[in-house]
Amino acid sequence: MLKSALIASTLLMAIFAQGRDCSTSKPFHVSKTQKLSGTFRDPSGAVIPGIEVHLLSGNNVVQHVRTDNLGAYDFGEVPSGT
């Protein structure tokens, strides 16, 4: 029973990671050039690898990256702007 629950949980996480839920954060302003990076985690705290992350300026994609095996993304230095 535990093994099948673990397989189902892993499968659901894989489906979630492959999903196309395009959530957008609230707009924010960067007043000076700075590094922008982070880690994606699911509600249980597990890292989420393979998520595509887009940096937008208005509706334009400025840069996109994919989270690594540890769920981390790194846009590097981001210039000032909204």
Q: What is the DSSP letter of 4?
A: H
pLDDT at 20: 52
Domain boundaries defined on the chain:
29-82
Q: Which residues contact 44 (CB under 8 A, 6 or more apart)?
A: none
Q: Are 17 and 49 in contact (CB under 8 A)?
A: yes
> Average pLDDT for consecutive 10-residue bins of the chain (82 residues)?
35 43 71 91 93 86 93 92 80
pLDDT at 22: 60
pLDDT at 38: 92
Which amino acid belongs to residue 32?
K
pTM over 0.95: no
Q: Are 51 and 39 in contact (CB under 8 A)?
A: no
pLDDT at 27: 77
